[in-house]
Structure 1
């Protein structure tokens, strides 16, 4: 029975080839992507993330995703316009953390709610700080600094003593 089925499938493929249904397919004549590379069991996940332009953080367990978001809070709130928007952001993040703490899954990673007052205090301090302007040093001074290496502290101490 299997041989009859294989013969039928083969006949249909040959008919389609003769009609030209396999001509001009996308990728025809091009090398197979990844051929010659070592086998990777997660190749389809990686290709999906790349094709859909998704961050690889989506593969992390919830606890690690939350931990990473907590670490990135200062960068994420930096450009928020008002104190209330900073508090709202922290409240949403804390709601996600509390939801995970109530029903944890995945690896046990220490994740605690973020203190909104600390975040707001840092946000205010960063906004109050004047912009740091970098100036280009004059070429003559750069050459002098490059030529004279600085002595280590123990050599300076030794030179003073004796």
Structure 2
């Protein structure tokens, strides 16, 4: 059995007959030395050397460039940030709760711009205020001040933004109609 294994290893190029010295300590696989103390290279070192001689490592992507993530300060979450960056995901869920709430408050006008009526706007703001009150009752994370949002002020701003968008669209329609009228050929008052 051992002889058949050695012949297979010789044929595959993992070792040669000169590697087998009866006085050297052998590992379990193929009579390889257990350590490099005897002057023999290990199986892994030999495979790397042979691959390098064949040129398998010549045109690897990223050759000569620093490893990503190792150029900045030590960060225990480097792998999470790298994964989020590779997948194109947002890192916002990793933020503490008060910072997430503050970001939601900042993005509130954009969130509300697509809502159809005032009742839906009030519902979204009430839900946000509920989550803020829930956090204030049992704060977890850094002590960042977050206060409730004034529903009436948000609704008034929503109405103003909606009116501004409607005015802008009307002005764009008027400009498009005027351009279309200018491009049409004028009709003469006489006909032939």
Name the structure 2 match of 1:30.
61
**C-alpha RMSD of the superposition:** 3.7
Name the structure 2 match of 1:93.
128
1:140-155 aligned at under 5 Å gives the runs: none
Unaligned runs of 5+ in 1: 18-27, 136-162
Q: Secondary structure of 1:131's partner?
A: helix
Give the Cα separation in 1 of the matches to 2:132 and 2:125: 10
**What number of residue pairs does the alignment pair up?**
125
1:51-90 aligned at under 5 Å gives the runs: 51-90=86-125
For the structure 1 residues 34 and 119, does the alpha-carbon distance in structure 2 shift closer, same or farther, using more than 3 Å as the test? farther
1:125-140 aligned at under 5 Å gives the runs: 125-129=160-164, 130-132=166-168, 133=171
1:105 to 137, 140, 143: 140
TM-score under structure 2 normalisation?
0.51
Please tell me whether Structure 1 or Structure 2 has the larger radius of gyration of its CA atoms.
2
Give the Cα separation in 2 of the matches to 1:106 and 1:51: 27
Structure number with the bigger relative contact order (C-alpha 8 A, sep ≥ 6) is 1
Q: Secondary structure of 2:167's partner?
A: coil
